[in-house]
Amino acid sequence: MYHLTALVTLLAIAFYFFTAVNVSRSRTKTGVKVPAMSGHPDFERAFRIQMNTLEWMPIFLPALWLFAVYISDAIAAGIGVVWIIGRIVYFVGYSKAAAKRGTGFAIQSLAAIALWVGALGAVTLRLV
Amino acid sequence: MYHLTALVTLLAIAFYFFTAVNVSRSRTKTGVKVPAMSGHPDFERAFRIQMNTLEWMPIFLPALWLFAVYISDAIAAGIGVVWIIGRIVYFVGYSKAAAKRGTGFAIQSLAAIALWVGALGAVTLRLV
Amino acid sequence: MYHLTALVTLLAIAFYFFTAVNVSRSRTKTGVKVPAMSGHPDFERAFRIQMNTLEWMPIFLPALWLFAVYISDAIAAGIGVVWIIGRIVYFVGYSKAAAKRGTGFAIQSLAAIALWVGALGAVTLRLV
C-alpha cells in the first residue's frame, strides 16, 4: 500500500480546494459577479492561481503515483510535500503581485519534473 | 477489484463530457466563435458549468478512489452517484440562471467532502 | 503491472506540459501580460489548445487506465498513442487557424471514446 502518497494526495487536493474557495472570497471582495471571470486585477490573480494549480494537477498526480508505484512511497510523498510547499509559496507571492509568482512556481515545477523523470526512468528500466 | 467505483468513474466522465458538448452547442446557439470564451451570458454560463465540473474532477476522482481502496467500493460508488446527481442539479439550475446554481453545488460539495474526509480518516488510521 | 500504459501516461503528460509551455512562449510573442487571458488571437488559440488538452485529461487518463486494467495494457497503450497523435495534429492545426482544429480533435475524440466504451463494456460484464 501507498499510505504516505495517499496522504499527500489528499493534502494536495485540500490545498487546491482552498485556492478555489479563495476565488469565491475574491469575488465578494472585488465585486466581480458570476459568470464573469475578469474585471478586477485582484480577482484575476486569484483566479489564475486556482487555474494554474488545476492545470498542474494532471501532471502532478499521475507522476506522483507512478513514482510511488515504481520507485518508493516515501520518496514520492516527500517530493509531493515539496510540490505543495511550492504551491503555497506561489499562492502567497502571486496573491501580492504577478511579478512575485516566480519562486513558488519554480519549486513546484522542479518537484513535478523530478517525479516525472523518476517515474519515466523506472518505467523504461522495466520495459527494456 | 473495484467494479462499482470503476462504473461510477465512467459515468462521471460521461456527464462531464456532456457538459463540454453543451458548450459547443451553446456556441452555435449564441454565435460566440472560437477561440472567444465570452460575449453572451448563456454561453458564459454553459462554459462556467463545464469549467466548474472540470475544476472538481481532481478533487472528486482521487478522493473517490482512495475512499474505495481504504474503506469500501460500494459506499464510495454510492457517494459518487450522489456527486453525479448534484452535478446534474447544478447543470439544470445554472443553465437557467446563475442564482439557481446553489443547490446542486451544495450536494456535489458535500459528496466530494464526504469522500475526502472518509479517505483521510482511513489513511490516517493506517499511518498511526 | 501496466508498464506500457504507465509509459503512455507519462508521454501524454509531457505533451500536455508542452502545450502549457507554448502558452508562455505565446505571451512573450504577442505581448499579452499575466494575468490577462485574452488580447491577441494567436495567444487565445495557444491558450485554447492548452485548455482543451487539459479539459480532456480527466476523460482520457481514467478511461485509459480502466481499459488497461479491465482489458489489456498493450491495447490501452496503443489507443493512448493514437490519442497523443490526435492531440499533436490538433496542436499543429489549431496553431495555424481555428478552422484547422477539426481533424486532430476528431482523432483524439475517437481514441478517448474507444477507451471509454471498452472500459464500460468490460466493467459491465464483470458486474452482471
**pLDDT tens sequence for chain C (128 residues):** 899 999 999 999 999 999 999 999 999 999 998 878 888 999 999 999 999 999 999 999 999 999 999 999 999 999 999 999 999 999 999 999 999 999 999 999 999 999 999 999 999 999 99
B116: chain A residues, CB-CB within 8 Å: 10, 13-14
Tens of pLDDT, residue by residue over B44-84, are: 999 999 999 999 999 999 999 999 999 999 999 999 999 99
Domain span at B21: 3-127
Using a CB-CB distance cutoff of 8 angstroms, which residues of chain A are in contact with residue B124? 7
Question: What are the tens digits of pLDDT across the range A63-95?
Answer: 999 999 999 999 999 999 999 999 999 999 999
Q: How confident is the model at residue B35 (pLDDT cuts 50, 70, 90)?
A: confident
Residues from chain C contacting residue B87 (CB–CB below 8 Å): none
CA-CA distance, B89 to B110, in Å (whole number)? Answer: 14
Determine the angle formed by the axes of helices C102-127 and C41-70, rounding to 10 degrees: 30
Q: Which residues of chain C have a CB within 8 Å of the CB of A116?
A: 10, 13-14
The three grid cell numbers given for residue A118, joined into one nine-digit string: 523518476
For chain A, the chains sharing at least 3 beta-carbon pairs closer than 8 angstroms are: B, C
Confidence of residue A32 (pLDDT cuts 50, 70, 90): very high
> CA of C52: which chain A residue's CA is closest?
A55
Can you tell me the distance from the alpha carbon of A117 to that of B53, in angstroms, rounded to the nearest whole number?
30
Report the residue of chain C nearest B47, measured CA to CA.
C55
How far apart CA B1 and CA B112 sit, in angstroms, is: 22
Please answer yes or no on whether A54 and B55 come within 8 Å at the CB atom. Answer: yes
What are residue C40's phi and psi, to 5 degrees?
-150, 130
CATH code of the domain in which A21 resides:
1.20.120.550
Alpha-carbon distance of A63 to A86, in angstroms, equals 16
Q: Which of C41, C66, C98 sits opposite B10 (nearest CB)?
A: C66
Number of domains in chain C: 1
ipTM of the complex: 0.95
Which residue on chain C is closest to A63 by alpha carbon? Answer: C10
